[in-house]
Amino acid sequence: MKGSIMKCRTCGSYTLHAKCPGCGNETSIAGPMKYSTTDRFQGFRLRELEKDLDGKNSD
Ligand SMILES: [Zn+2]
Protein backbone atom coordinates (compact mmCIF):
# COMPACT_ATOMS: atom_id res chain seq x y z
CA MET A 1 0.00 0.00 0.00
CA LYS A 2 1.63 3.22 -1.10
CA GLY A 3 0.76 6.75 -0.35
CA SER A 4 -0.28 6.52 3.26
CA ILE A 5 -2.58 9.31 4.26
CA MET A 6 -0.86 11.57 6.69
CA LYS A 7 -2.41 14.01 9.08
CA CYS A 8 -0.96 17.16 10.51
CA ARG A 9 -1.28 17.15 14.25
CA THR A 10 -0.90 20.89 14.38
CA CYS A 11 -3.63 22.09 12.04
CA GLY A 12 -5.45 18.82 11.31
CA SER A 13 -4.87 18.88 7.55
CA TYR A 14 -4.66 15.62 5.61
CA THR A 15 -1.86 15.17 3.12
CA LEU A 16 0.25 12.51 1.43
CA HIS A 17 3.47 14.23 2.43
CA ALA A 18 5.63 13.94 5.51
CA LYS A 19 5.30 17.65 6.01
CA CYS A 20 2.11 19.61 6.16
CA PRO A 21 1.66 21.79 3.07
CA GLY A 22 -0.29 24.24 5.13
CA CYS A 23 1.84 24.93 8.19
CA GLY A 24 5.03 22.97 7.43
CA ASN A 25 4.93 20.82 10.53
CA GLU A 26 5.59 17.09 10.46
CA THR A 27 2.63 14.87 9.81
CA SER A 28 1.83 11.45 11.19
CA ILE A 29 0.07 8.53 9.57
CA ALA A 30 -3.68 9.01 9.72
CA GLY A 31 -4.41 5.39 8.91
CA PRO A 32 -5.96 2.85 11.25
CA MET A 33 -4.56 3.21 14.71
CA LYS A 34 -4.80 0.76 17.57
CA TYR A 35 -5.89 3.51 19.82
CA SER A 36 -6.51 7.17 19.51
CA THR A 37 -5.17 9.88 21.74
CA THR A 38 -8.68 10.20 23.08
CA ASP A 39 -8.65 6.56 24.19
CA ARG A 40 -5.33 7.08 25.89
CA PHE A 41 -6.69 10.09 27.67
CA GLN A 42 -9.75 8.16 28.79
CA GLY A 43 -7.51 5.37 30.08
CA PHE A 44 -5.49 7.91 32.02
CA ARG A 45 -8.60 9.41 33.57
CA LEU A 46 -9.89 5.95 34.46
CA ARG A 47 -6.67 5.23 36.31
CA GLU A 48 -6.90 8.53 38.12
CA LEU A 49 -10.44 7.66 39.11
CA GLU A 50 -9.36 4.25 40.36
CA LYS A 51 -6.63 5.84 42.42
CA ASP A 52 -9.14 8.27 43.87
CA LEU A 53 -11.62 5.56 44.75
CA ASP A 54 -8.89 3.37 46.19
CA GLY A 55 -7.69 6.19 48.41
CA LYS A 56 -11.17 6.73 49.78
CA ASN A 57 -11.80 3.05 50.39
CA SER A 58 -8.57 2.52 52.28
CA ASP A 59 -9.36 5.24 54.76
ZN1 LIG B 1 -0.47 21.65 9.35
CA of 45 to the centre of ligand 1 (A): 28
**pLDDT tens, residue by residue, 35-54:** 556 666 666 677 777 787 77
Q: Which helix (H) or strand (E) holds 42?
A: helix 37-57
Q: How confident is the model at residue 14 (pLDDT cuts 50, 70, 90)?
A: very high
What whole-number distance in Å separates Cα of residue 51 and Cα of residue 29? 34
CATH of domain 6-57: 2.20.28
Better pLDDT: 4 or 28 = 28
- Strand, coil or helix: what is 7? strand
| Å from CA of 5 to ligand 1 middle | 14
Cα(24) to ligand 1 centroid in Å equals 6
Going from the Cα of 43 to the center of ligand 1, the distance in angstroms, rounded, reads: 27
Model pLDDT, residue 42: 65
**pTM of the complete model beyond 0.95:** no
Residues 6+ apart with CB under 8 A from 10: 20, 23, 25
Task: Report the pLDDT value the prediction gives residue 17, as an integer from 0 to 100.
Answer: 93
Sequence ranges of the domains in the chain: 6-57
Q: What is the Cα–Cα distance from 15 to 32, expressed in whole angstroms? A: 15
